[in-house]
Structure 1
Amino acid sequence: MVRTLVFDVGETLIDETRIWSRWADRLGVPRFTMLGVLGGMAALGQSFEEAFQLLRPGFDVEAEQEAWKRDDPDGLRVNFDADDLYPDVRPCLAALRDLGYELVIAGNQPPQAYDALAAMDLPVDAIHTSDGWGVAKPAPAFFARVVEVTGREPGDILYVGDRLDNDVLPARAAGMRTALIRRGPWGYLHALRPEAAGADHVVDGLDDLVSVLGVTKV
């Protein structure tokens, strides 16, 4: 029986449109081009880092982020805030908490993401990031930490994310139940793959998850 839900961050809770639009502006390419190339990377099974190399061969992401920070120290740049939450996040987390589920956020995120998420005052029991743990998805050690911090049996945990490779498949290999959310480039494309049938649930939004899990209280 599912007792704990663990949520990925990017394109699960956070709409990354503004982040990638700012990157497009920084690189001097049309926003449509930036977003289209990201979709292409998702379709080809490549990482988002490859989008930078396609648009700017030899591009040094870390060096550019440091330069950007110097140029715009008070701006959001590659970061997010509460305005980037998908509209269903707050009401659905509140509904799931009312049903008695333990709610945890755990995803691949840089150091500043923890403070950004904590400042949103979301109705969750804990927030964890790959930076804080020193291990990132899809490494088995990441999902072992999920089990450790929740104190649950793997089968009592439902991991919710937008990707098969980073979320559904490794979480399932760790013995967890899984939900693939169809949003963001990876979410829509991965939902079409045969491996998506291995997810316990494929949902269009968090409200669908509430409907699925809301039939009984924990």
Structure 2
Amino acid sequence: MIETIVFDVGETLVRDDRHWASWADWLGIPRHTVSALVGAATVQDRDDTDALRLIRPGMDIAEAYRAREASGRGQHLDESDLYPDVRPALAGLRKLGVRVVLAGNQTARAGELLRGLDLPADLVATSGEWGVAKPSPEFFARVTEAAEAAPDRTVYVGDHPAYDLFPAKEAGLRTAHLRRGPWGYLWADDPAVVKAADWRIDSLTQLAAIVAD
């Protein structure tokens, strides 16, 4: 029986269009350039922030975030950034009695913005708030604690094999790989992903049927 479902955030709940466009504007380069470099990092199975360091070698990402906030060009998140299946999927799971947790690699500010959207979730947490980030085992230990359920009764949902699927599986959680975003589409049929995923989904609304089964 599934008691808790924990969701990754970027490209699982939230589209990254605005995120990368804002970085392009901050760096003063075409948005297409950043998109192409993120795609290249995806294909090479590298961290997406490597795309920024290709543009500005040695960039301190945390310092850049602070500089953007100080200049009034910091993070922004509103309803238009959500994928259309997010609210109905989360609300449907809550009606089934499932605990819903949002936990991904985001800044503390992103956590504030997510909570401001008043999503149907029991808890919203970010790596910036926890002080640990995916794919570290410490992050998934915090996920297990936040789930308030046994690992085999908890599902972690995400698009990225190396940051979501594999470490969640190693932590003993059930896993659902979402075919969405660059990583989700690129790695969807990889044999390692197929083997590690308890479920493979194309929409978050499919999770209700998984819980019902």
Could you tell me the TM-score, scaled by structure 1's length? 0.90
Contact 2:157 2:178 in 1 (8 A): yes
**Which of 201, 204, 207 is the matching residue for 1:203?**
201
Deviation at 1:38, TM superposition (A): 0.3
1:124 is aligned to 2:117: no
Asked whether 1:82 is paired with 2:72, we answer no
Distance 1:66 1:152 in 2: 36
Which residue type is aligned with residue 18 of structure 1?
Answer: R
1:132 and 1:59, CA in 2 relative to 1: closer, same or farther beyond 3 A?
A: closer
- Look up the match of 1:40: 40
Post-superposition CA distance 1:159-197 (Å, at most 9, x none): 001111111111111111101111111111121322111
What is the CA–CA distance in structure 2 between the aligned matches of 1:119 and 1:190, rounded to whole Å?
32
Structure 1 segment 60-71 matched on structure 2, within 5 A: 60-71=60-71
Residue 93 in structure 1 maps to residue 90 in structure 2: yes
Partner of 1:20: 20
CA distance in 2, matches of 1:68, 1:131: 16
Kindly state the Cα deviation for residue 40 of structure 1 after the two structures are TM-superposed.
Answer: 1.0
> Per the alignment, in what secondary structure is the counterpart of residue 115 of structure 1?
helix
How much identity, in percent, do the aligned residues show?
46
Alpha-carbon offset, residue 214 of structure 1: 5.3
Specify every segment of 5 or more residues in structure 1 that has no aligned partner in the other structure, as ranges: none
Q: For residues 22-75 of structure 1, what are the alpha-carbon distances to aligned partners after superposition, in whole Å with 9 as ceiling and x for unaligned? A: 11122222212211110110110111121112223343434433333333x2x4
- Distance change (3 Å), C-alpha of 1:174 and 1:52: same
Partner Cα distance (1:57, 1:145) in 2: 32
Structure 2 unaligned regions, length at least 5: none
Q: Residues of 2 paired with 1:62 and 1:128: CA distance?
A: 18
One-letter code of the match for 1:154? Answer: P
Q: 1:26 to 1:172 in 2, by over 3 A?
A: same
Conserved 8 A contact 2:5-2:155: yes
CA pair 105-17 structure 1, distance change in 2 beyond 3 A = same
- Counterpart of 2:141 in 1: which secondary structure? helix
- Partner SS state of residue 34, structure 2: helix
Secondary structure at 1:160 match in 2: strand
CA distance in 2, matches of 1:174, 1:37: 31
**TM-score computed with the length of structure 2 as normaliser:** 0.91
In the alignment, the residues of structure 1 paired with residue 114 and residue 68 of structure 2 have an alpha-carbon distance, to the nearest angstrom, of 22
Q: What is aligned with 1:187? A: 184
User: Per-residue deviation at 1:123?
Assistant: 0.9
Q: Residues of 2 paired with 1:177 and 1:80: CA distance?
A: 29
Q: Which residue of 2 aligns with 1:143?
A: 140
In the alignment, which of 111, 115, 119 is matched to residue 114 of structure 1?
Answer: 111
| CA deviation string 1:85-122 (max 9, x = no partner) | 11111111111111221111111111112211111111
